[in-house]
A and B are shown apart, each in its own frame.
Chain A
Amino acid sequence: MTEKSNQFPQWEVFIQAKNGGPYEHAGSVHATDKNMALQNARDIYTRRNEGRSLWVVQTDNIFSTTREEEAEFFDPAEDKIYRTPNFYKMPAGTTNL
């Protein structure tokens, strides 16, 4: 049985906390279009000064990996510790690396 949703389309909200920083996922909102999505995002996620810039993306436009694909996507990285810089000697006198 399919039930028609009476909700507006869903949008994902990304907030940039300060200029130059990354946009981080904050949550989602419902809205009929991109302008309403931005306004709703502003009212729900930035009322305590959380950000200076917002992105909204309609949830349908996000393509993600699935649980079933998790192993083949990510497990091969588990035993390749040489990909992280664990074996470098710190140059003498370096404190802020």
Chain B
Amino acid sequence: MKTQEAIYQYCLRIADSNLILAQRLAEWCSRGPILEEDLAMTNISLDLFGQAETLYEYAATIKGDNATADSLAFLRVEREYFNRLITEQPNGDFAVTMVREVLFSAYQNHLYQALCKSNDEMFRGFAEKALKEVKYHLRHSSEWVIRLGGGTEESKVRSQAALNELWRFTVDMFEMDEVDEELISMGIAPDMKEINKSWMKTVTEVFTEAELHIPDLNNVIKGSNKGIHTEHLGHILSEMQYLQRAFPGATW
């Protein structure tokens, strides 16, 4: 596999994950448990949209062929998205959203730290800026999960149920293929086995403090590197892409 092709694919993995999670978090807009949290979740969402845009622009320059950040974000079909499966899972209750945010922002935190040392200048610049944002996302969601886990009986039951449901999607986040092999050999991307180790340490700390137990891995679902998705992505795309599909090329 050519390096440029691998970089393009790697951009989509990160950007698609951010785009889809941002879209999910935006669903909370006007539905947050309190005004302050409503703003916090939409702030996180906007951070993720911004990160996605940076990488889509990079990907578009590699692809050429009149591709733009918008055409990549809005005009691909389901199997051409490579977002990590956990990002497309439904928001559920507030506990599900916050546990998902801990699992995913901890992952971004370690991935971006590694990308700060990438041989690719674009990835380095992206990671240095985005790392500050995801550190905050991790802090915000961790504090909530710790509160929910140690809160009332109800909040503890819901948080544990959220972790039990989402845990099986975490294996997918660390899957590697020939894209990773090429980029690891060029010193551009990290070995996900290493990221997995440091991620596990971080989330174990949070869930231990929250008095939640990490469940056994059962019914693991993966496949995002190949564009294989759960039933939820199609519904997200139909809503997210509606405008561009109904009015091709619409701008504002």
Contact = CB atoms under 8 A, between A and B. Distances in A.
A30 B43 contact: no
Nearest to A32: B147
B34 A39 contact: no
A48 to B, nearest CB: 11
Nearest to A42: B136
Nearest to B39: A43
Interface residues of A, number: 13
Contacts of B237: none
Contacts of A29: 36
B40 interface: yes
Contact of B143 (A7, A36, A44): A36
Interface in A36-59: 36, 39-40, 43-44, 47
Given A39-B40, A40-B40, A43-B43, A30 B34 contact: yes
A43 B36 contact: yes
B43 A47 contact: yes
B168 interface: no
Interface residues of B, number: 11
A39 B43 contact: no
A95 interface: no
A35 interface: yes
Interface string B40-61: 1001000000000000000000
A83 B34 CA distance: 48
Interface in B134-158: 139-140, 143, 147
A26 interface: no
Nearest to B34: A30
A63 interface: no
A30 to B, nearest CB: 6
A40 B36 contact: yes
B76 to A, nearest CB: 31
14 contacts: A8-B34, A30-B34, A30-B36, A32-B147, A35-B143, A36-B143, A39-B40, A40-B37, A40-B39, A40-B40, A43-B40, A44-B36, A44-B39, A47-B43
